Amino acid sequence: MYTGLKGKHLIYEQDWEKEEIEALLDMALDLKKMRALKQSHKYLDTRTLFLLFFEESTRTRNAFETGITQLGGHANYLIPKLTQIDHGEGPKDTVEVLSRYGEGIGIRNTTWGVGNRYMRELAKYSRIPVINLQCDLFHPTQSLADLLTLKEKLGDLRGKKFVMSWTYAPKYVRPISMPQSLITLMPRFGLDVTLAHPPEFFLMPEIVEQARENARKAGSRFEIVHDMDEAFQDADVIYAKSWGALAYTQDEPTILQLIEKYPGWKVTEQGMQLTKEDSRYMHCMPIDRGIEVENAVADGSHSVIYDEAENRLHIAKAIMALTME
Ligand code: CP
């Protein structure tokens, strides 16, 4: 197992070798056991992690804040308004300075066309690991926790059918980062991925191509369908959430109108009957209950949403323990 990950950035799962991800999952399970046994695991005593959030968060922020505390370190929660970023200080100056104070920096910035580029720019100048806490393109700390959850629940993942489905959800446009992370990561670990969405809600062609290529190399499958029932047939895993329409990234009203064409894209008990008897329902949360999914499914026997959310903590700790000096 390769464990030489000190100083490595985590911006896109694809930047990590499969062996490195396996090491991360192993570490997460070790840390999970230690926490259950109340064994001290202060591997980051006196270290500081900066958490720079351009948007709101419940799970990600708290997984990293409580995680670094359990590892013996400390988190500094930052928002642009309380830093000189709000006055225009750029990524180079921000990270050159923070690199001299602390040992890691996590960032959430999901602004389309900005978030990933900002993180890559920070990483270029950073002497401490940069961790993507969700950008416009990817959400690796969530997808890796999801992979851990799937390994715990299903054991051998090879040949299992993983459905990444779009759902209806009104009011605001959700990022495409979650489906893009999941469709590229899961085929590498043997899952057969079915991506399901209405035609207008396609993902970035180069990311879809990467997912296909990952599947080809791993001997798994990747397909796209435009019908929810077709996708759900004999599925082992249903991961269903809303996302925006790429063709209109600068035009939110048009996307919201498009979303209104597809209120039937909802996870229902009836739909879950098409899946395998012991299939799992997953969602990264927050969920639009009653809209994206019936409460009976979110709270029912297929659902693993809270185990999935818990694993955010264990993966966050593993990322920090392995990458921070
Ligand atoms: N899944 C997820 O990233 O949740 P938060 O937005 O609450 O961090």
Ligand 1 binding pocket includes 284 (Cβ within 6 Å): yes
How many A from CA of 134 to the centre of ligand 1? 9
Amino acid at 257: Q
Supply the residue whose CA is at minimum distance from atom 4 of ligand 1: 59
pLDDT at 146: 99
Ligand 1 binding pocket includes 59 (Cβ within 6 Å): yes
pLDDT at 92: 97
Ligand 1, pocket-test mutation among 55, 60, 282, 307, most atoms within 8 A of CB: 60
Q: Which CATH class, in words, describes the domain spanning 13-139+312-323? A: alpha beta
Atom of ligand 1 nearest to the CA of 108: 8
pLDDT at 249: 86
pTM assigned to the model? 0.98
Atom of ligand 1 nearest to the CA of 56: 6
CA distance 117 to 48: 24
Atom of ligand 1 nearest to the CA of 133: 3
What residue ranges of the chain have pLDDT lower than 50?
none
Ligand 1 binding pocket includes 142 (Cβ within 6 Å): yes
pLDDT at 70: 98
Q: Over the range 107-125, which residues count as b (16 or more CB within 10 Å of their CB) and which as e?
A: bbbbebeebbebbbbbbee
Ligand 1, pocket-test mutation among 57, 239, 311, most atoms within 8 A of CB: 57
How many A from CA of 63 to the centre of ligand 1? 10
**Given 3.40.50.1370, 3.40.630.40, 3.40.50.2300, 2.30.31.10, which CATH number is that of 143-308?**
3.40.50.1370
Supply the residue whose CA is at minimum distance from atom 7 of ligand 1: 58
Q: Where are the domains of the chain?
A: 13-139+312-323, 143-308
CA distance 73 to 53: 19
Instruction: Say how many C-beta atoms besides its own lie within 10 A of residue 247's C-beta.
Output: 12
Do 13-139+312-323 and 143-308 show the same overall fold? Answer: yes
pLDDT at 250: 83
CA distance 191 to 185: 9
pLDDT at 277: 98
